Amino acid sequence: MRVEGGEVWADDTGGEGVPLVLLHPGVADSRVWEPVLPALAVGRRVIRYDARGFGRSPAPTVSYSAAGDLKTVLDHFGVARAVLVGTSMGGSTAVSGTLNEPERVAGLVLLVPGVTGYPELENKELTAQIAELAQAGDMDGLFALSLRVWGAAGTPPDTEAATLIRAAIPAWFTTYGHVTEEPPAFPRLGELSLPCALLLGEQDEPRTIRCNEAMAEAIPGCRLVRAAECDHLPTLRVPETVTELVREVYARVG
């Protein structure tokens, strides 16, 4: 489907009722939802898409906004109200999209989410390591580092996580300089007034854990769930917990 200055791949199961819209992380594409998609699609309409440069979506050639693309996807499918389910990068997009159009979002499920405007979320040492490996052309080293950091709960060879992370890495470079950062959302989390749950992976990066705790505290009425066996890939590590959390928020939406 067309978005401003480009295209994204999207999928719609069809069906009635308030749809679920799934937003993937920056360490995977929309295939990350496959462990939970069959259960989520029972009796519900589910829409998912690949962000620009990820999965089946072409790399961007112009500047774009991730929250703007979310709005375009909702417009394309005629969605007046949705429950947004976002993980990591997708969680940040979901929060920004909700603040942009609060009347359009009926509920939020945030899985190890990021958020703009949270101080010290970026791990500068890790970013420097990634840059050094990329500049040296060491893609195997970059992949191994990424799997250790974001797939910490996995057991080697951890094939499913490895496949997703390896496929996502090129998008980090093709989107760089094109995707525009959304305005700071963390200071505005108190404005959110909707059913919300946040899943925190206790084997995730410490900075992400602290950010997720702060987000859950700042969002009124947000339910915080701690998953001991989870890293940055909750749909792979704790799919049953993810499914139940989505069902819970969806039921509260009515």
DSSP letter (8 states) at residue 22: E
For 189-241, write each residue's pLDDT tens digit.
Answer: 999 999 999 999 999 999 999 999 999 999 999 999 999 999 999 999 999 99
**What is the CB neighbour count within 10 angstroms for residue 176?**
11
The answer to whether residue 164 scores a pLDDT higher than 90 is yes
Number of structural domains found in the chain? 1
Please give the backbone phi and psi of residue 83, each rounded to the nearest 5 degrees, phi first.
-100, 120
Q: Where do we find the tokens 């305005």?
A: 183
Are the CB atoms for 207 and 213 separated by under 8 Å?
Answer: no
**What is the CB neighbour count within 10 angstroms for residue 24?**
27
Structure tokens at 99: 């603040």
**Domain interval for residue 26:** 2-253
The pLDDT value recorded for residue 232 is 98
Q: How far apart are CA 128 and CA 125, in angstroms?
A: 5
- On whether the pTM is more than 0.75, the answer is yes
Contacts of residue 157, Cβ cutoff 8 Å, sequence gap at least 6: none
Q: How far apart are CA 104 and CA 82, in angstroms?
A: 7
CATH code of the domain containing 237: 3.40.50.1820
Average pLDDT, the chain: 97
The answer to whether residue 254 scores a pLDDT higher than 90 is no
For 19-44, write each residue's pLDDT tens digit.
Answer: 999 999 999 999 999 999 999 999 99
For 96-126, write each residue's pLDDT tens digit.
Answer: 999 999 999 999 999 999 999 999 888 999 9
Q: Where do we find the tokens 């703009």?
A: 116
For 51-91, write each residue's pLDDT tens digit.
Answer: 999 999 999 999 999 999 999 999 999 999 999 999 999 99
